[in-house]
Amino acid sequence: MNTTNQILTVSIIGSGNVATALGEVISSNGIRVLEVFSPNIDNSKLLAEKVGCNYVENLEKLNTISDLYIIAIPDNEISNVITKLKSKEGIMVHTSGSQPSDVFEGKFHHYGVFYPLQTFTKGKQVDFQEVPICIEGSNDITSELLVQLAKKISNNVVLLNSEKRQYLHLTAVTVNNFSNLLYNLAHDVLNEKDIDFSLLHPLIKETAVKIRDVNPYQAQTGPALRKEISTINKHLELLDKYSEYKEIYNLLTRQIINKHHG
Amino acid sequence: MNTTNQILTVSIIGSGNVATALGEVISSNGIRVLEVFSPNIDNSKLLAEKVGCNYVENLEKLNTISDLYIIAIPDNEISNVITKLKSKEGIMVHTSGSQPSDVFEGKFHHYGVFYPLQTFTKGKQVDFQEVPICIEGSNDITSELLVQLAKKISNNVVLLNSEKRQYLHLTAVTVNNFSNLLYNLAHDVLNEKDIDFSLLHPLIKETAVKIRDVNPYQAQTGPALRKEISTINKHLELLDKYSEYKEIYNLLTRQIINKHHG
């Protein structure tokens, strides 16, 4: 750790959506990314180029001087990578919502979690100022250093323990991954019927921003809420050809009815 | 119909979310709402006060001079109300996504559909300029008059036949009502775990606006897309207590996997 008690230099392990988004925002906020490692050399090179650093081709060649090592890789590869890492003085974090912080225990002195609660896709810029960054540290000093760093890139930094973070991650999957699947189903049907999907854009956006002002129970509208069985049956008929979509329509409609009339 | 070949006066049948939103935006754009009818007298009075008109207590007392009669009531009550209506010279429309335009056939000369594709909740203002208004008319002149009116309140007016409109309505239910149910599930769990639901706001919003730039198939992220079975199993464990939520998690996860790896 450097003597200024700040995180000034970072190594990034990973080159996917999260690694890329974090690498870019960190380096554009005055923290130096020293190196990138990823088994995918092409992605690794791309990210290294974007942030102006080297890429290393082998985990064992990672430096030992960075203040922070960010592991931003798929959840199920984290423990495997940790096993292969040499011990470091700097802080070791992962960016996972679902992995506890103690995956680092026993191997590193300072470790924690740096979980940006957002959906990232390469090529789609995200305004980090709004993104909640959920921090957990192995001790107070580590937490403090990670919070300091997080505050350089976001106005929405929270300390959160591993148990709460896993519930938050579960709900993030629900509101993001599952809503996106719903958009995808709608897109497929409209496309086939030659109807412009963009007609739904304002509705999709209003649905999302409405629950800032109205709690989602009260925000519920639609035929299931009003128990309009004939409209529901008509929709199910339209979906006869789309069995997977129909199964989802059936289940979610039933649950709205249960929730509001059960 | 007046001699100016414009819709200048309107009667509103209904006093719910859609009737209220439409009544307000129409009257604030220079069209005169002459009267409101609704079986719910309290709501009827409220809306009449907002738009500065009378409310009538009986369907039979509706005037015969309005250029347009807007029926904004639950889908399954529309045909019943039409049966009770006396014949009118003005245009008769409903605002339903799912009902065909021919529910008016044989009884009225000029009729159609005026379907604002948005979710409305009383007390939550909506910017109408962006709201797609889907128009169908019983003949060209009727369509034209309805389009003219719609263009006074929105920049996004489209002609759409009944068949296409019912598919659009089906997908609107999917992206709005079902996403909102997902938000509700997330809200319930976070509330119980004493985690602030507003942490999800930026993610929910980004999910919604992202699909303006990235098609929803490509926008998909998450453990199901990456087939991270251990994370998925952990989530299912967290949901052991929440059987309805678990059923939804299971189905939507399976379908994301099928869609991307099937």
pLDDT digits (tens, 9 = 90+) for B186-217: 999 999 999 999 999 999 999 999 999 999 99
| Number of compact structural domains in chain A | 2
Alpha helices in A17-58 (DSSP H): 17-27, 41-51
Mutate to test the interface with A, among B194, B204, B242, B261 (most CBs of A within 10 A): B204
pLDDT bin (cut points 50, 70, 90) of residue B124 is confident
Domain boundary among B133, B160, B187: B160
How distant is the Cα of A28 from the closest Cα of chain B, in angstroms? 21
Residue B104 lies in a domain: yes
B261 touches chain A (CB under 8 A): no
Mutate to test the interface with A, among B173, B249, B259 (most CBs of A within 10 A): B173
Residue A3 lies in a domain: no
Alpha carbons A12 and A52: distance in angstroms, whole number? 13
Tell me the β-bridge partners of B114. B135
Do B139 and B34 belong to one domain? yes
Q: What does the pLDDT read at residue A36?
A: 98
Q: Which DSSP state fits B176?
A: I
Q: What does the pLDDT read at residue B3?
A: 46
Residue A87 lies in a domain: yes
Residue B84 lies in a domain: yes
Q: What does the pLDDT read at residue B26?
A: 97
Do B182 and B218 belong to one domain? yes
What CATH number is associated with residue A228?
1.10.1040.20
What CATH number is associated with residue B15?
3.40.50.720
Do B139 and B196 belong to one domain? no
Question: pLDDT by residue (tens digit) across A152-205?
Answer: 999 999 999 999 999 999 999 999 999 999 999 999 999 999 999 999 999 999
Compare all CA atoms of chain A with the CA of B201 and give the residue at the minimum distance. Answer: A212
Tell me the residue range of the domain where B40 lies: 9-160
A116: nearest Cα among A81, A55, A40, A168:
A168
Alpha carbons A249 and A240: distance in angstroms, whole number? 11
Helices (H) and strands (E) in chain A, counts: 10, 8
Q: Which residues of A touch B160 (CB under 8 A)?
A: 195
Do B18 and B142 belong to one domain? yes
Alpha carbons A7 and B176: distance in angstroms, whole number? 43
Residue A2 lies in a domain: no
Q: What does the pLDDT read at residue B121?
A: 85
Question: pLDDT by residue (tens digit) across A89-128?
Answer: 999 999 999 999 999 999 999 999 999 999 998 888 889 9
Tell me what ipTM this predicted complex has.
0.94
Q: What does the pLDDT read at residue A3?
A: 46
Looking up tokens 């102006």 gives: A52
Asked if B200 lies within 8 A of A170 by C-beta distance, the reply is no
pLDDT at A8 over 90: yes
Inter-chain Cβ pairs, chain A and chain B, closer than 8 A: 313
Phi, psi for A69 (deg, rounded to 5): -120, 120
Compare all CA atoms of chain A with the CA of B228 and give the residue at the minimum distance. Answer: A76
Asked if B167 lies within 8 A of A199 by C-beta distance, the reply is no
Chain A residues 23-82 within an 8 A CB cutoff of chain B: 74-76
Question: pLDDT by residue (tens digit) across B76-113?
Answer: 899 999 999 998 999 999 999 999 999 999 999 999 99
- Which residues have C-beta within 8 Å of that of residue B172, sequence separation ≥ 6? A200, A203, B97, B117
